[in-house]
């Protein structure tokens, strides 16, 4: 499948690995794909993000992702749902960090390299066709693998013969979770993105 990926899409996948390593994450997650998409310039995804007003707001996205990691990866919607059950996530995070240090709920802090070695010993869990992109680097979570497959479905739905970084971005907005929530908070939704990429709006990515 990776032969269908454009140069920009491949750069996003490789960039996601780099961001996972920079954050010392055990595995490559969907949030790392989002960060890699924000790195792109002069691509269809970068055009769409700029058209929707996300250009120059990277710091805001990174702060939102960091806050989610502090909550153990919970989205704001998850936190609100727990609050409805009488569980104060902010209070729990504060108590855990008082006892164990800031970022204690991130779960993967300081585990990255060991976690990859453990995964390799267990028969290569988390690997597949995408390992052709990344060689011996960190494995992908199930969510990140599903995202790559979803990008293929997005391309096929448009009868595109390739998978570009715009399909990765569309897949992120279509799947529930922290990246989609943060993108929506910044004005980038599945519907608005489709309008910019495929028409029905003022601008169309070329």
84 domain-assigned = no
**What SS3 state is found at 28?**
strand
CA pair distance 42, 82, nearest whole angstrom: 41
CA pair distance 170, 86, nearest whole angstrom: 35
103 domain-assigned = no
Tell me the CATH number at 24. Answer: 1.10.1780.10
114 domain-assigned = yes
78 domain-assigned = no
118 domain-assigned = yes
Q: Which residues pair with 28 in a beta bridge?
A: 140
Burial of 117 (0-12, 13-18, 19+ CB in 10 A): exposed
Query: To the nearest whole number, what is the mean pLDDT of the chain?
Result: 79
18 domain-assigned = yes
Read off the pTM.
0.76
pLDDT in tens, 102-139: 665 565 333 433 333 333 333 344 445 455 455 556 89
Identify which of 146, 165, 143, 145 has the alpha carbon closest to the alpha carbon of residue 155.
165
40 domain-assigned = yes
Q: Evaluate whether 179 touches 30 at the Cβ level (below 8 Å).
A: yes
Residues 6+ apart with CB under 8 A from 149: none
What's the domain count of the chain?
1
Structural domain including 171 reads 2-70+108-198
Answer with the residue of higher pLDDT: 171 or 76.
171
Question: Looking at the predicted structure, is the pLDDT value of residue 152 above 60?
Answer: yes
172 domain-assigned = yes
Instruction: Name the region of 126 (left: φ>0; alpha: ψ -120 to 50; beta: rest).
Output: left
| Measured distance between the N- and C-terminal CA atoms of the chain, rounded to whole angstroms | 24
């Amino acid at each position: 499948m990776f032969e269908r990926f454009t140069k920009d899409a491949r750069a996003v996948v490789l960039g996601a690995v780099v961001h996972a390593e920079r954050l010392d994450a055990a595995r490559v997650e969907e949030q790392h794909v989002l960060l890699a998409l924000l790195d792109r310039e002069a691509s269809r995804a970068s055009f769409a993000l700029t058209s929707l007003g996300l250009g120059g707001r990277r710091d805001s996205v990174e702060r939102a992702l960091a806050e989610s990691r502090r909550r153990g990866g919970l989205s704001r919607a998850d936190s609100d749902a727990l609050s409805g059950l009488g569980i104060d996530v902010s209070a729990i995070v504060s108590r855990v960090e008082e006892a164990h240090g800031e970022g204690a709920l991130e779960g993967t802090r300081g585990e990255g390299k060991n976690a990859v070695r453990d995964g390799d010993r267990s028969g290569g869990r988390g690997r597949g066709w995408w390992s052709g992109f990344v060689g011996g680097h960190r494995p992908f979570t199930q969510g990140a693998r599903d995202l790559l497959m979803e990008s293929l479905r997005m391309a096929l739905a448009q009868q595109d013969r390739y998978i570009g970084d715009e399909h990765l971005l569309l897949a992120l907005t279509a799947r529930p979770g922290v990246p989609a929530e943060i993108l929506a908070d910044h004005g980038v939704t599945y519907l608005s993105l489709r309008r910019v990429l495929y028409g029905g709006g003022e601008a169309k990515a070329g």
